[in-house]
Amino acid sequence: MKTRFIPLLAVLALVAGSNHALAAADEKLKAAAEQEKAPLIETLRDMVMIESGSSDVEGLKKMADFTEGRLKALGAATERRKTTAGVGADMVIATFKGSGTRKLMLIAHMDTVYQRGILASEPYHVDGTKIFGPGIADDKGGIAVVLHALKILKDAGWKDYATLTVSFNPDEEVGSIGSGEIIAELADQHDVVLSCEPTAASPPAKNDSLLLGASGTATGIMKVKGRASHAGAAPDRGRNALIELSHQLLQTQDVAKSIPGTQLNWTTAKAGTVRNQIPEDAEAGADIRLTIPDGIAKLQAAIDAKLKTRLVPDTETTVNIVAGRPPFVASDRGRALAQEGQAIYAEIDRKLDIVEMTGGATDAGYANRSGKAIVVESFGLAGFGYHARDEFIDTNSIVPRLYLMSRMLIEQGKKK
């Protein structure tokens, strides 16, 4: 593989935060990105108006129809591949054939965290340079960058690649439970994978960024078995599973703090069915994040040791940890690719940060699992408020992100 070296003075300029470009911008490409800004905003509006929560089969089908139609219009051969688990929605996989030697892949996701009807309380609207809407940043902005960067490159006649694959999946927000293995398999067939989750647009972020690390995920399930009895007439005959659950949650809430590279937060709980019965069963769920390969085993051992201490006699507590999405930790080749992105941003007098790690999980973990492809995350638009109210994108990021994606694909296509 041919390596692109960045001159020492250029590196020093980046480190110093210089506003001087490393090289002249590709003015034709920049102008094309500026021309695509308004069409990209229209694409965003069309997609936001399609409610596509991870369990909304109808909405996900509309998103798949929309994106597949756009990819076909760009000249791709498309495939709808059924996910292997979950609600049964489709992935959209598009393939472009070029005249070069490199195999490039772009990934983003069509689903959002929001339930059907969210647009009634969180409508699409514009406020200055911010455009608000459910899922507009995470990850419909990423899809828009892919579609419009490919339009720019198509108009320019760019074909310097062997294969360019686009994968849009419908279940990222629920752990890619039915698409993760497919993403991993596809990624292993490519040289480079650019994942298009958003970059942060609000403090503490000062600049747009690319991401080199994201936590893996797991789910913790705590179950307590007690004994039922009449809550009014014979409470002492029962063994209160709810009280024991509370005790064990408090015992284990900080267990991950002693295991670097792990994070555990208990987030759900349920117990009992009626008011006048001592609850026999209780259950809690935990969100677990991991950046180390043996994190699950270490957490399990630490939790099991805590569970030996009971508060309520004759109760039994178990915790089962189920692995989810693998962690994403970029390789040295990924870091070098991100540094190329910094040089590209400097061409248009903008600074691009490199973020080492985030607690959020992404499909870059699946793409990077084997280490065969070079993977970098966060090529989507700058946005904020994802998974919350008032999610938005910053329109000032549209032209720079289109320029970055287009130039990055051109540069990667040149390599041998």
Q: Which residues pair with 393 in a beta bridge?
A: 131, 383
Nearest to 30 by CA among 408, 404, 414: 404
Separation of first and last alpha carbons in the chain? 5
Q: Give the Cα separation of 81 and 69 in Å (integer).
A: 15
Q: Give the Cα separation of 349 and 345 in Å (integer).
A: 7
Q: Is 111 a catalytic residue?
A: yes
CB atoms within 10 A of CB 19: 10
Catalytic-labelled residue, pool 36, 172, 280, 394: 172
| Burial (CB count within 10 angstroms: exposed 0-12, middle 13-18, buried 19+), residue 104 | buried
Collapse the DSSP code of 411 into the 3-class scheme (helix H, G, I; strand E, B; otherwise coil) and give the result.
helix
Peptide bond connecting 204 to the previous residue in cis, omega within 30 degrees of 0:
yes
Token pair recorded at residue 384: 């904020």
DSSP letter (8 states) at residue 136:
I
CB 196 within 8 A of CB 137: no
Q: Is 254 a catalytic residue?
A: no
Q: Give the Cα separation of 283 and 319 in Å (integer).
A: 10
Catalytic-labelled residue, pool 111, 160, 244, 391: 111
Contacts of 158 (CB under 8 A, 6+ apart): 98, 409, 410, 413
Nearest to 195 by CA among 69, 369, 33: 369
CB 108 within 8 A of CB 91: no
**H runs (alpha helix) in 264-348:** 295-307, 332-347
Q: Give the Cα separation of 122 and 117 in Å (integer).
A: 9
E strand or H helix that includes residue 48: helix 27-48
User: How many residues would you count in the chain?
Assistant: 416
CB 268 within 8 A of CB 284: yes
| Burial (CB count within 10 angstroms: exposed 0-12, middle 13-18, buried 19+), residue 260 | exposed
Contacts of 265 (CB under 8 A, 6+ apart): 286, 287, 288
Q: Give the Cα separation of 360 and 351 in Å (integer).
A: 23
Catalytic positions, written as ranges: 111, 172
